[in-house]
Structure 1
Amino acid sequence: MLAQLEGGTIRLTELHRFTGYQTRLADGPALDVSALLRGIDAGLEAAAAAGGVDSIGADGWGVDFVLLDERGMLLDQPRTHRHPRGQHGLAALTASELERIAESTGIQLLPIVSLFHLCDWAKTHPELARKAARFLMIADLVALHLSGVAACEWTLARTSGLLSAKTGGWDRAMLAFTGLPEQAFGPLVAPGTVLGQLSPALQSRTELSAARVVAVAAHDTASAALCLAPAEDEAFLVCGSWILVGAEIADGSMPLDAQQQGFGLEGGVEGRGLLVRSLQGMHLLRGLRDAWARRTGTEPSFPDIAEAADRANPAAPAINPSDPLFVDAVDMIEALRAHCPKLNHDDLGELARAVYVGLAAEVTISLDRLEELTGRPIRRIRLGGGGADDPVLCRTIANASGREVLAGPVEASAMGNAMAQFTALGAFASMRAAQARGSAGCDIRSYPPSTFRPTAEPSMPYEKGFS
């Protein structure tokens, strides 16, 4: 994404979009790092063709990581957070150990958390674990590729389950759980830190002149929250592969009973706390699209799926997205069939509607709990990410929750990324100044709730999420 500042307002232009970096090995879902970095380099070439840039910053999804040896080479091909090793690592810990982890770090106790993946990986790869010289999250790896500087950005590291909620630094007791050398966990940097210049090799390869590489709020949720800037009576909702429901906690403290209610405390810019609950998200619709295409030979577009859901039988059952069946479903239609046999599995609209209503019900439960935890009413929802481009999802959430949905921008994470970069370059005096002015030109659509309420209830009560 190219971000340009015009009259105090940030304008985004897409330069390059790519896929192919997610793959599947015999033991589960993994990442193709070479494909990811090739896509990044193609984006840099597009930036050079567009006239060049003053800075570059990478944000990305949380919890996924790589381990490098002393030469900077991958110790093992990285698996994704949906890999079963996370569940194995979590299950191997005692109740008292999990209680200690939750209290020390403030995280949600979910199998996607890096700590649980590391625990299992180190047990099954003890010789490789001893060789680990650097732990990096995925966006940190991209920043290393860009600048040659290996550092862990703070908001991203907060998703790992390895940072102390009290000090904000690495928690040595949590590092001991991983089975990795403590020195593998390098320096933490705050959003807005200038790491250095684009490496000479990339300057030559992409014909892009020297630009500063900035550590932004590298967790995409933190970047999106910066952009969405929810007010006191608003929550933010980041709708991508996952749906993140949350509120900003100015003093960074964890409300009582938050973890018991399924929430965790993550990091935002300027040390702010983000009280967040992670829900299954739009990957369910993507999986449905892919499964439908394999069965019929025709791939429906996402607008096609949304339109079919809008026309579907309103009395048909809904799903509960927290069913573990949906975590890494190879065939989403078969997962839906196993979860809810009453669904008409030959009707795309009925299947999609079951997902939409289930997602909206989960969001509503989370918003109600968030009100209780923060002690303040939530009257509106600031919704960013790909879901902001889906009017059926936005209307369904508004109707289910009884709250107005303000949808946009779709590229909320990219906008928050740009805000951090422009602040680091001195164009804004602070992150709050960037929030106040930077997204002024964004297209925001309002979806007020109607008197309609979905009649279907989720078919299975997974109150605590898929863990």
Structure 2
Amino acid sequence: MPEYYLAVDIGASSGRHMLGCIEGGKMVLEEVYRFENGMIKKDGRLCWDYDTLFAHIKTGIKRCREIGKIPVSMGIDTWGVDYVLLDDNDRVIGEMAGYRDRRTEGMDEEVYRVIPEKELYARTGIEKMQFNTIFQLMADKKNRPGDMDKARALLFVPDFFHFLLTGVKANEYTEATTSQLVNARERTWDEELIEKLGFNKAMFQRIAMPGEKLGMLRPELKEEFGFDMDIVLPCTHDTGSAILAVPAMDDDYVFISSGTWSLLGIERQLPDCSEMSRVNAFTNEGGYDSRICYLRNIMGLWMIQSVRHNLEDKYSFAEICAEAARADDFPSRVDVTDNCFMAPDNMIQEIKDYCQRSGQQVPETLGEIAACVYKSLAQCYDRTIKGIEASTGRTYRRLHIVGGGGNADYLNELTARATGKEVHVGPTEGTAIGNLTAQMIYRGEFSGKEEARQIIHRSFHVKVYHYPVH
């Protein structure tokens, strides 16, 4: 019987439990549980329902026992930047606010009064995003000082769920880097920066690296589930997990972790915290094996997901791609990194308004709207790759796309056309595979990342798009 590993992969709109094992020299996946997720309004804030999420986590674990496949370990990955504060009795203070909440508006100016933007980037290497933890904490400090005074621990979303499972508090490295409070070169909390900003240094936990065993289940959970298992930290920031699953045998590539967000970049040994890097909006996030994921955050398929919701989810994503292909000659483009697309009341109207403001043809049909978004994404990918090549002084031959966004064939073709790269798409379950990979390396199934990627390459289908695409 193979040993089973459990990856709990929670995204902004859904989560799933994926069991993985090695059979016949290949990694085999099985989805055992899936659930919905989304932000809810609480006291005027957009928040995550952490009680419901943890209930789903437990239900999926119990499902493993029901089907007779008991995992030897598990790990959780989620999005970045969001957190909870705990008091001295380990109770949550307030709510788990979400990154699309607008409470951070104007907080960049508050932070830059303490430390100039250029100096902040030179220390942390993290791109300014209005929802970064540094701005969320400044909002809490300004608007809810009592909460900050009571806080004894800050735990990011996956850290919190790992704590609920084990009773052990730690801040996992890849997730911590999204805060814009980690020194990029030292890979530790920038305590001088934290002190300057007036945040309580004591609430920041030990930084733990992916691949570390955090602990085992609390006794009451062991009894509830009917078994025990190791809790092994993956790259708890889903981007880091997805990048670990890139099935590449060399370094002649750039990657896109494609989903709600498109994270486009490369892996490198050392961060680039230069002024050129800051101006070009690149970020230096943590990766597996202390690597730096040098990338740009691009709005990604969030815009298409929102368009679909505006139309009451009447169309599948495949149907939207087909409609876009039929409107392939539609000329208008939008800046997919513009904050106006972050959380508009109506995405379709926002796209139309943008085109009108910029003096372009306004899209009217679903196909025209989708073609506008997909072509804008492909152009942004091309510009971003050129920026990476300028920064590194080298040209990359391939583009690897991992994650669910790889199912958008029309976008993949546009990307090959726009970039002139050989586009390799797959595996689409990249984040869960990367999560499982970190656990399997810890357990000794693989000697390290290189062997793991070889196994991933032969385990999952990879579709190749060549330029020009016919």
Q: TM-score by structure 2 length?
A: 0.91
Flag the structure with higher strand content.
2
Q: What is the letter of the counterpart of residue 249 of structure 1?
A: R
The structure 1 residue matched to 2:184, chosen from 158, 165, 169, is 165
**Residue in 2 aligned with 1:49?**
66
**Residue in 2 aligned with 1:462?**
none
> What is the rounded CA distance, in whole Å, between the counterparts of 1:28 and 1:307 in structure 2?
37
8 Å CA contact 1:386, 1:410 repeated in 2 = yes
Gaps of 5+ in 2: 1-17
Question: Percent identity among equivalent residues?
Answer: 28
Show the 5 A alignment for 1:305-320. Answer: 305-320=320-335
Structure 2 residue 397 is the aligned partner of structure 1 residue 382: no
With over 3 angstroms needed to count, the CA separation of the structure-2 counterparts of 1:381 and 1:178, relative to structure 1, is: same
**Residue in 2 aligned with 1:463?**
none
With over 3 angstroms needed to count, the CA separation of the structure-2 counterparts of 1:291 and 1:106, relative to structure 1, is: same
**What SS is found at the alignment partner of 1:329?**
coil
The aligned length equals: 447
**Residue in 2 aligned with 1:325?**
340
Q: Deviations over 1:153-200 (max 9, x none)?
A: 111111111111121111112322554321100111111111111222
8 Å CA contact 2:216, 2:230 repeated in 1 = yes
> What is the rounded CA distance, in whole Å, between the counterparts of 1:254 and 1:158 in structure 2?
14
> What is the rounded CA distance, in whole Å, between the counterparts of 2:383 and 2:130 in structure 1?
21
**What SS is found at the alignment partner of 2:279?**
coil
With over 3 angstroms needed to count, the CA separation of the structure-2 counterparts of 1:28 and 1:127, relative to structure 1, is: closer
With over 3 angstroms needed to count, the CA separation of the structure-2 counterparts of 1:245 and 1:20, relative to structure 1, is: closer
> What is the rounded CA distance, in whole Å, between the counterparts of 2:416 and 2:98 in structure 1?
32
Structure 2 residue 374 is the aligned partner of structure 1 residue 356: yes
Show the 5 A alignment for 1:235-246. Answer: 235-246=254-265
* CA deviation after TM superposition for structure 1 residue 439, in Å: 4.3
Structure 2 residue 214 is the aligned partner of structure 1 residue 218: no
8 Å CA contact 1:266, 1:274 repeated in 2 = yes
**What SS is found at the alignment partner of 2:106?**
helix
Q: Deviations over 1:387-429 (max 9, x none)?
A: 1111111111111111121001111111111110011112222
Gaps of 5+ in 1: 453-467
**Residue in 2 aligned with 1:150?**
169
Which sits farther off after the overlay, 17-26 or 281-290? 17-26
> What is the rounded CA distance, in whole Å, between the counterparts of 1:84 and 1:178 in structure 2?
20
8 Å CA contact 1:130, 1:180 repeated in 2 = no
> What is the rounded CA distance, in whole Å, between the counterparts of 2:465 and 2:43 in structure 1?
44
Q: What is the letter of the counterpart of residue 394 of structure 1?
A: N
Q: What is the letter of the counterpart of residue 384 of structure 2?
A: S
Which sits farther off after the overlay, 109-118 or 90-99? 90-99
* CA deviation after TM superposition for structure 1 residue 362, in Å: 1.0
**What SS is found at the alignment partner of 2:28?**
strand
**Residue in 1 aligned with 2:415?**
397
Structure 2 residue 28 is the aligned partner of structure 1 residue 11: yes
**Residue in 1 aligned with 2:7?**
none
* CA deviation after TM superposition for structure 1 residue 288, in Å: 0.2
> What is the rounded CA distance, in whole Å, between the counterparts of 2:118 and 2:104 in structure 1?
17
**Residue in 2 aligned with 1:461?**
none
Structure 2 residue 48 is the aligned partner of structure 1 residue 23: no
The structure 2 residue matched to 1:103, chosen from 122, 134, 144, is 122
Structure 2 residue 92 is the aligned partner of structure 1 residue 74: yes
* CA deviation after TM superposition for structure 1 residue 261, in Å: 1.3
Structure 2 residue 317 is the aligned partner of structure 1 residue 302: yes
8 Å CA contact 1:241, 1:281 repeated in 2 = yes
The CA RMSD measured in Å over matched residues stands at 1.9
With over 3 angstroms needed to count, the CA separation of the structure-2 counterparts of 1:344 and 1:259, relative to structure 1, is: closer
8 Å CA contact 1:151, 1:189 repeated in 2 = yes
Which sits farther off after the overlay, 196-205 or 266-275? 196-205
Q: What is the letter of the counterpart of residue 19 of structure 1?
A: E
* CA deviation after TM superposition for structure 1 residue 145, in Å: 1.9
Which sits farther off after the overlay, 90-99 or 42-51? 90-99
**Residue in 1 aligned with 2:4?**
none
Which sits farther off after the overlay, 92-101 or 406-415? 92-101
8 Å CA contact 1:65, 1:78 repeated in 2 = yes
> What is the rounded CA distance, in whole Å, between the counterparts of 1:76 and 1:223 in structure 2?
29
Show the 5 A alignment for 1:270-289. Answer: 270-289=289-308
Q: What is the letter of the counterpart of residue 216 of structure 1?
A: P
Structure 2 residue 426 is the aligned partner of structure 1 residue 408: yes
* CA deviation after TM superposition for structure 1 residue 224, in Å: 1.1
**What SS is found at the alignment partner of 1:142?**
helix
8 Å CA contact 2:124, 2:183 repeated in 1 = yes
Q: Deviations over 1:185-223 (max 9, x none)?
A: 01111111111112222233333x111000111111111
* CA deviation after TM superposition for structure 1 residue 92, in Å: 2.2
Q: Deviations over 1:304-361 (max 9, x none)?
A: 1111111115133122212221011121112112211355554111111111011111
**What SS is found at the alignment partner of 2:35?**
coil
> What is the rounded CA distance, in whole Å, between the counterparts of 1:329 and 1:221 in structure 2?
24
> What is the rounded CA distance, in whole Å, between the counterparts of 2:123 and 2:59 in structure 1?
41
> What is the rounded CA distance, in whole Å, between the counterparts of 1:94 and 1:3 in structure 2?
45
Q: What is the letter of the counterpart of residue 11 of structure 1?
A: V
> What is the rounded CA distance, in whole Å, between the counterparts of 1:313 and 1:442 in structure 2?
30
With over 3 angstroms needed to count, the CA separation of the structure-2 counterparts of 1:323 and 1:438, relative to structure 1, is: closer
* CA deviation after TM superposition for structure 1 residue 255, in Å: 6.0
The structure 2 residue matched to 1:62, chosen from 65, 74, 80, is 80
Structure 2 residue 57 is the aligned partner of structure 1 residue 40: yes
**What SS is found at the alignment partner of 1:63?**
coil
**Residue in 1 aligned with 2:105?**
87
Q: TM-score by structure 1 length?
A: 0.91
Show the 5 A alignment for 1:456-467. Answer: none
* CA deviation after TM superposition for structure 1 residue 385, in Å: 1.0
With over 3 angstroms needed to count, the CA separation of the structure-2 counterparts of 1:345 and 1:438, relative to structure 1, is: closer
Q: What is the letter of the counterpart of residue 248 of structure 1?
A: E
8 Å CA contact 1:20, 1:35 repeated in 2 = no
The structure 2 residue matched to 1:337, chosen from 352, 355, 366, is 352
* CA deviation after TM superposition for structure 1 residue 432, in Å: 2.8
* CA deviation after TM superposition for structure 1 residue 120, in Å: 1.5
**What SS is found at the alignment partner of 1:82?**
coil
* CA deviation after TM superposition for structure 1 residue 232, in Å: 2.3
> What is the rounded CA distance, in whole Å, between the counterparts of 1:306 and 1:205 in structure 2?
45
